[in-house]
Amino acid sequence: MPKKEEIDAVIEAGLYAASARNLQESIILCITDEENREFFRKANAAILGAPDNDPFYGAPVILVVLGPKHNPNRVYDGSLVIGNMMQAAYDLGLGSCWIHRAREEFETEEFRDFLKAQGVEGEYEGIGHCILGYPDSEHPLAKPRKEERVFYVR
């Protein structure tokens, strides 16, 4: 389990992500207890079609990013939140990974009820999960960048 200060620093980086019109409407659920991690793991694995897998790789922290359905930029804004959190995790020496299927989770009544139980009001779409933990090996070196991806307009 990462230290609380590390988790909080990662979350803060997410909260400072750019957002359309600076609305700052993305929200983050921080899941650290085993019971709720298992709830998310089982649901995500079922959506994946691999109920015996752990799509969260045993990570002790699941940060779920959601955007309000009324915001047409929710996916873009939430994606920036996750990107910022992953950069902060790397800077702190933590491992992180973006895990999909949050949208499908929060389309269910069970997950909408979960939000209500946390005091979250309104309709939200799941954008993604950012898992955190201490890596069990060195961070891999970045693969070479593909050529011919930048075009200078004159």
Q: Does 150 reside within a domain?
A: no
Contacts with 138 (C-beta within 8 Å, 6 or more apart), sequence order? none
Q: Tell me, yes or no, whether 116 lies in a domain.
A: yes
Distances (CA, A) of 4 to 1, 8, 98, 139: 9, 6, 20, 22
Domain of residue 74, CATH code:
3.40.109.10
Domain count, the chain: 1
The SS3 of residue 32 is coil
On whether residue 147 sits in a domain, the answer given is no
Residues spanned by the domain of 45: 4-133
Residue 145 is predicted with a pLDDT of 95
- Give the residue ranges of the chain where pLDDT is below 70: none
Report the number of secondary-structure helices (H) and strands (E) in the chain.
5, 4
pLDDT at 152: 95
In a domain, 99, yes or no: yes
Does 146 reside within a domain? no
Task: Report the pLDDT value the prediction gives residue 136, as an integer from 0 to 100.
Answer: 86
- Assess contact for 37 and 60: CB atoms under 8 A: yes
107 domain-assigned:
yes
| Token code pair at residue 88 | 């902060």
Answer yes or no: is 143 within a domain.
no
pLDDT tens per residue across span 122-145:
999 999 999 999 998 888 888 999
Q: Is residue 30 part of a domain?
A: yes
